[in-house]
Amino acid sequence: MCCGASRDAWRAADPMPYLPPPAAPAVPLAAPVPASASAAPAPVRLRFLERARVRVRGPATGVDYEFSSSEPVRAVHAGDAEALLRTGHFSRAF
């Protein structure tokens, strides 16, 4: 018996025919999140404590931030701020 005949015999003996999965519902299952609840955290103002000019990449966002002695304070995404503060080259600017 060739494999095609075996497959046909199996199909004939299968009491449960294959049914494709149902289509996804057209209506979302969960209500959308209000814009105020999904808003990004407020930026954090950091001060660069060194005199040199530096460009750092935020580890969480990949955003480049440039600091210098003439412009030592920048607003930084909250996701990047904690890692930059841990370097010891930055402090929170108030």
Q: 73-91 b/e with 16+ CB inside 10 Å = b?
A: ebebbeebbeebeeeebbe
pTM: 0.57
Higher pLDDT, 1 or 8: 8
Distance CA 49, CA 21 (A): 60
Mean pLDDT to the nearest integer, 63-78? 94
CA dist list (Å): 82 to 10, 75, 87, 91 = 62, 13, 9, 10
Q: Do the beta carbons of residue 54 and residue 70 sit within 8 Å? A: no
Q: What pLDDT score was predicted for residue 74?
A: 96
Distance CA 65, CA 74 (A): 8
